[in-house]
């Protein structure tokens, strides 16, 4: 990881400082949150964070396995989001600050943006758009 | 203070017009004045003090951490802890949005005579178009400027030469002379109308939209005080006018039609139009604020891209949330839900859910790791705890009163 800002001498806590944190891509587009953290247990060595997981199914699992199945059922029915759990290896983390976790990916190409893309192509493109996002 | 910072007052007024002097306040203030004259000014004063502190805190939080509240609560307290308050907040957003859209429809009904449900879809389209087309600062500026129409209530109150001594006396809590159940129910509703739980969540997102940083901490204090003070003065004036005009005639305001005539004594020709215009504008400002607040909260909860200044192509899910919320709550009005009844119900619900919304907020305001030296002091904590305690009492009291006293 290239940058670990704002943490100074404090201990970094997985649940407090990483789980649920805002995730952004290379361009700092907000692309989801750290919905799950997966550790790798190694013989004779301390556990290590293997990858982070993102997706509604991951969130639902944190509440109950039944809810997870239910959410996954709806995901399949809509058929927009193809990958239930988007997994990103810890090695792709570029930066960890007190307000975000930056990944070395392009948000638009990830499963997290399946719905965003679908809505854009099927709905937003058909409505006359205002000239926003060009100020300052 | 430079011009950009002075312009932040617009956020305060928008929050105030939207969250403070909205359909709930018009309904509760007018009823309170009509039935109890000047005796129920104190819940408004109490609510205003609490709201100034809460709004100041949420602005300070956003200025120091550059984060809005829903964002920070999910990050620091976790998904499981935030889910409950989030769902409650979403329900409140939805019902209040319905009440506000109903308020605009009612104002249009007053002017045109066409039935309220007729206006549901055109009003939904107008509200949506406003959000779709304009930037955040344009929403702030136009709403705060148009919101000045509501000053008509203050002018009217002034023209009626209300008894100053009685006004001051009404600012201190007293026991009711008649109808105790109704009295306490109205005190609860007034507080619920003032302390709208979505207000400080919205305000913090607005501060992030306006890119506040540490240098806004002082400005924020002024904005909270003046913005909320603005809403409070107008609500006070509405009670005074109702007390002077409606109460002596025995009009108890069982529906908005009776309220509509309250300004006609002060402004014989324009009074009716001014009432309708104030109502339409206050409710439109509120509808825009609540719809945005719902989109902010949802997008931040799930980490989606959000921002009223972005091209809709870049935050389609954010746009989908406000679009869906507006359409869904307009359907309530289209299918004939009475705007006044919906409003009074949502005010009582507001009071009931406040503890769930305020406690996570209070936890964050005391987090040294996040706020460092800008943490809450004992005064802010005391005020918030008082609010939480008060709202628990209100919750316990308001539900039976809603069933027993109603209106």
Interchain CB distance below 8 Å, B310 and A30: no
Residue A12 contacts B where some CB pair is shorter than 8 Å: no
Interchain CB distance below 8 Å, A20 and B78: yes
CA separation for the pair B69, B297 (Å, rounded): 8
- Listed residue (B38, B11, B5, B25) closest to B288, CA to CA: B11
CA separation for the pair B371, B356 (Å, rounded): 22
In which residue are the tokens 């400027």 written? B145
Say what the pLDDT of residue A135 is.
45
Q: Which residue of B has its CA nearest to A30?
A: B305
Say what the pLDDT of residue A136 is.
41
Q: What is the pLDDT of residues B145-199, one digit of tens each?
A: 888 899 999 999 999 999 999 999 999 988 888 888 888 888 888 888 888 888 8
Evaluate if residue A114 carries a pLDDT over 90: yes
- Listed residue (B100, B102, B121) closest to B110, CA to CA: B102
* Average pLDDT for chain A: 89
Residue B373 contacts A where some CB pair is shorter than 8 Å: no
Say what the pLDDT of residue B177 is.
84
> What's the gap in Å between the CA of B270 and the closest CA on chain A?
36
Interchain CB distance below 8 Å, A10 and B369: yes
Asked if B150 contacts B21 with a C-beta cutoff of 8 angstroms, the reply is yes
- Listed residue (B239, B236, B228) closest to B199, CA to CA: B228
Query: Given its phi and psi angles, is residue B352 left (phi above 0), alpha (psi -120 to 50 degrees) or beta?
Result: alpha
Look up residue A96 and give its two tokens.
Answer: 């960890």
Secondary structure class of B259 (helix, strand, coil):
helix
* pLDDT < 70 positions in chain B: 1-3, 6, 18-19, 398, 402-407
Interchain CB distance below 8 Å, B80 and A63: yes
Asked if B104 contacts B284 with a C-beta cutoff of 8 angstroms, the reply is yes
Burial of B215 (0-12, 13-18, 19+ CB in 10 A): exposed
Say what the pLDDT of residue B407 is.
46
Compute the CA torsion angle B241, B246, B247, B251 (nearest 10 deg).
-150
Residue A36 contacts B where some CB pair is shorter than 8 Å: no
Burial of B222 (0-12, 13-18, 19+ CB in 10 A): middle
Asked if B12 contacts B227 with a C-beta cutoff of 8 angstroms, the reply is yes
Residue B205 contacts A where some CB pair is shorter than 8 Å: no
Of B133, B316, B370, the CB nearest to A120: B316
Q: How many CB pairs under 8 A join A and B?
A: 82
Say what the pLDDT of residue B39 is.
94
Of A99, A115, A133, the CB nearest to B310: A133
Say what the pLDDT of residue B201 is.
87
Residue B69 contacts A where some CB pair is shorter than 8 Å: no
- Listed residue (B238, B209, B191) closest to B47, CA to CA: B191
Q: Which residue of A has its CA nearest to B66?
A: A99
Look up residue A45 and give its two tokens.
Answer: 């060595």
φ, ψ of residue B249 in degrees (nearest 5): -90, 0
Q: How confident is the model at residue A27 (pLDDT cuts 50, 70, 90)?
A: very high
Q: Are strands A93-96 and A101-103 parallel, antiparallel or unpaired?
A: antiparallel
Say what the pLDDT of residue A47 is.
92
Say what the pLDDT of residue A8 is.
62
Say what the pLDDT of residue B83 is.
94
Which chain A residues are within 8 Å of B306, Cβ to Cβ?
30
- Listed residue (B198, B359, B362) closest to B291, CA to CA: B198
Superfamily of domain A3-126 in CATH is: PRC-barrel domain (2.30.30.240)
Lowest-confidence pick of A7-16, A46-55, B206-215: A7-16
Secondary structure class of B149 (helix, strand, coil):
helix
Query: Given its phi and psi angles, is residue B311 left (phi above 0), alpha (psi -120 to 50 degrees) or beta?
Result: beta
Asked if B201 contacts B68 with a C-beta cutoff of 8 angstroms, the reply is yes
Residue B118 contacts A where some CB pair is shorter than 8 Å: no
Q: Which residue of B has its CA nearest to A131?
A: B311
Burial of B249 (0-12, 13-18, 19+ CB in 10 A): exposed
User: In chain B, what are the domains?
Assistant: 3-342 (1.10.4160.10)
Secondary structure class of A31 (helix, strand, coil):
strand
Interchain CB distance below 8 Å, A33 and B313: no
Look up residue B300 and give its two tokens.
Answer: 């931040």
Asked if A30 contacts A22 with a C-beta cutoff of 8 angstroms, the reply is yes
Overall average pLDDT of the A87-92 stretch: 96
In which residue are the tokens 């509760």 written? B28
> What's the gap in Å between the CA of B316 and the closest CA on chain A?
6
In which residue are the tokens 């501060």 written? B207
Interchain CB distance below 8 Å, B302 and A10: no
Q: How far is CA B239 from the centre of its chain?
A: 17
When computed from its CA atoms, the radius of gyration of chain A, rounded to whole angstroms, is 17
Q: Please tell me the pTM assigned to this model.
A: 0.93
Interchain CB distance below 8 Å, B303 and A120: no
Q: Can you list the pairs that B384-390 forms with residues at least 24 positions away whose Cβ atoms lie under 8 Å? A: B384/B53, B384/B54, B384/B57, B384/B358, B386/B50, B387/B50, B387/B53, B387/B54, B387/B195, B387/B354, B387/B358, B388/B354, B388/B355, B388/B358, B388/B359, B388/B362, B390/B50, B390/B191
Restricting to B residues 132-191, those with a Cβ less than 8 Å away from any Cβ of A are 132-135
Say what the pLDDT of residue B137 is.
87
Residue A97 contacts B where some CB pair is shorter than 8 Å: no
Which chain A residues are within 8 Å of B78, Cβ to Cβ?
15, 19-20
Which chain A residues are within 8 Å of B310, Cβ to Cβ?
132-133
Which chain B residues are within 8 Å of A61, Cβ to Cβ?
none
Give the single-character DSSP code of A126. Answer: G
């Amino acid at each position: 990881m290239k940058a670990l800002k704002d943490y100074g001498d404090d201990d970094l806590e997985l649940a407090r400082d990483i789980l649920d944190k805002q995730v952004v891509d290379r361009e700092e587009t907000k692309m989801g949150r750290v919905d799950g953290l997966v550790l790798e247990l190694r013989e004779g060595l301390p556990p290590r964070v293997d990858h982070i997981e993102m997706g509604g199914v991951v969130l639902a699992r944190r509440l109950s396995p039944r809810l997870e199945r239910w959410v996954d059922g709806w995901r399949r029915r809509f058929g927009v989001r193809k990958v239930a759990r988007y997994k990103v290896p810890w090695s792709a983390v570029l930066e960890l600050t007190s307000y975000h976790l930056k990944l070395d990916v392009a948000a638009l190409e990830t499963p997290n943006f399946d719905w965003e893309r679908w809505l854009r192509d099927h709905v937003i493109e058909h409505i006359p758009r205002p000239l926003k996002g060009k100020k300052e | 203070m430079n011009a950009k910072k002075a312009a932040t007052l617009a956020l305060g007024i928008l929050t105030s017009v939207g969250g403070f002097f909205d359909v709930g306040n018009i309904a509760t203030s007018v009823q309170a004045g009509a039935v109890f004259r000047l005796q129920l000014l104190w819940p408004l004063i109490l609510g205003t003090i609490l709201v100034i502190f809460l709004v100041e805190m949420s602005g300070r939080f956003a200025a120091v951490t550059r984060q809005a509240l829903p964002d920070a609560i999910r990050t620091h307290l976790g998904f499981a802890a935030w889910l409950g308050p989030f769902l409650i907040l979403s329900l409140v957003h939805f019902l209040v949005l319905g009440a506000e859209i109903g308020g605009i429809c009612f104002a249009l009904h007053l002017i045109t005579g066409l039935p309220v449900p007729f206006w549901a879809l055109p009003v939904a389209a107008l509200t949506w178009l406003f959000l779709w087309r304009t930037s955040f600062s344009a929403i702030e500026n136009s709403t705060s400027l148009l919101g000045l129409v509501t000053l008509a209530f203050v002018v009217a109150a002034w023209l009626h030469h209300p008894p100053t001594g009685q006004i001051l006396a009404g600012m201190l809590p007293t026991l009711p002379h008649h109808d105790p159940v109704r009295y306490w129910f109205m005190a609860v509703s007034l507080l619920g109308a003032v302390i709208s739980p979505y207000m400080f969540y919205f305000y913090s997102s607005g501060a992030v939209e306006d890119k506040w940083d540490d240098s806004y901490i002082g400005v924020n204090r002024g904005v909270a005080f003046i913005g909320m003070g603005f809403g409070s003065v107008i609500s006070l004036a509405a009670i005074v006018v109702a007390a002077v005009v409606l109460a002596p005639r025995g009009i108890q305001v069982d529906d908005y039609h009776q309220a509509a005539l309250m300004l006609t004594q002060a402004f014989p020709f324009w009074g009716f139009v001014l009432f309708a215009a104030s109502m339409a504008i206050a409710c439109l400002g509120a509808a825009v604020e609540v719809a945005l607040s719902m989109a902010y909260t949802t997008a931040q909860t799930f980490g989606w891209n959000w921002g009223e200044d972005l091209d809709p192509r870049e935050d389609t899910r954010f746009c989908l949330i406000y679009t869906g919320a507006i359409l869904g709550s307009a359907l309530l009005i289209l299918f004939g839900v009475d705007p006044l009844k919906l409003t009074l119900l949502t005010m009582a619900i507001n009071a009931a859910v406040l503890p769930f919304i305020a406690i996570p907020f209070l936890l964050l305001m005391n987090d040294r790791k996040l706020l460092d030296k800008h943490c809450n002091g004992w005064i802010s904590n005391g005020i918030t705890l008082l609010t939480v305690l008060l709202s628990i009492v209100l919750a316990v009291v308001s539900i039976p009163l809603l069933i027993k006293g109603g209106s």
